[in-house]
Amino acid sequence: MKIFNNLVKITLVCLLLLVNLVVAQPSWAGKKLADDPDYIEVTTALDTALQEQQDQGNTPENQLEIANLKFQKYLLENSEDPVGICRNETDKTLLIYGQKSKKSTSTYDNELYLLSSGAETDDEWDCQGVYIPGQVATAKQEATSPKAYKFVHGTRLVATTNPDTGETEFNLPPAKVFQPGDANWLIPENLQAALDAGFTTAKIDD
């Protein structure tokens, strides 16, 4: 009987530990999300967009913004890893944004890295965005400024080339689009200036 009682006690303790783990996991996840700058920014922007929709009514622009923000929030809440993964399916090398190296002396929030055509960033390396250089005005197109496309954690980004226009396209909409001066990100004026800076290669998935 004593052995039986001990087994019952051990079983109850194990069950209590299991219940605590099940209950604790969401709270851990919630705490991490609550401290995540991306999550704070997305939820704040979504609340603002929903309030504007309520005050001003539906517009195509407002509906698109809300849909994009809800999708970003879903990615942040449901991604298995708190990193973004970028895959380059264009026919050229891309410049992507990632965390600064420990030896970096840069004053920017992140750094630019090279991602070769056909390569994908490592699943333990956070790809934060993509740099797209500006275009010089021609007879067929207007001049465009360089931009940085930001993507939230958990994004599985695939960059491709539009066969008709030659422009880089993404499988998912960006969270933000920065022009020089909009954020503390390095956004070189042109591609050659960026390449001349001698950026290192991003950590890729072997």
What is the residue whose two structure tokens read 């931009």? Answer: 147
pLDDT digits (tens, 9 = 90+) for 148-168: 999 998 899 999 999 988 899
Closest CA to 155 of 91, 93, 68: 68
Q: Do 71 and 92 fall into the same domain?
A: no
Going from the C-alpha of 122 to that of each of 3, 61, 86, the distances in angstroms are 52, 35, 9
Could you tell me the CA-to-CA distances from 201 to 25, 90, 151 in Å, in that order? 36, 16, 19
Q: How far apart are CA 67 and CA 50, in angstroms?
A: 10
The string of pLDDT tens digits covering residues 101-110 is 888 888 999 9
| Cut 0.85: pTM above it | no
**In which domain, by residue range, is 51 found?**
2-78
In a domain, 9, yes or no: yes
CB 159 within 8 A of CB 169: yes
103 and 192 part of one domain: yes
Is 204 inside a domain boundary? Answer: no
State the chain's mean pLDDT as an integer: 81
pLDDT for residue 35 is more than 90:
no
Domain edge (last residue) among 78, 110, 128: 78
12 and 48, same domain (yes or no):
yes
Q: Is residue 206 part of a domain?
A: no
Helix, strand or coil, per DSSP, at residue 82: coil
37, 98: one domain:
no
Asked whether residue 49 falls in the same domain as residue 116, the answer is no
192 and 94, same structural domain?
Answer: yes
How many structural domains comprise the chain? 2
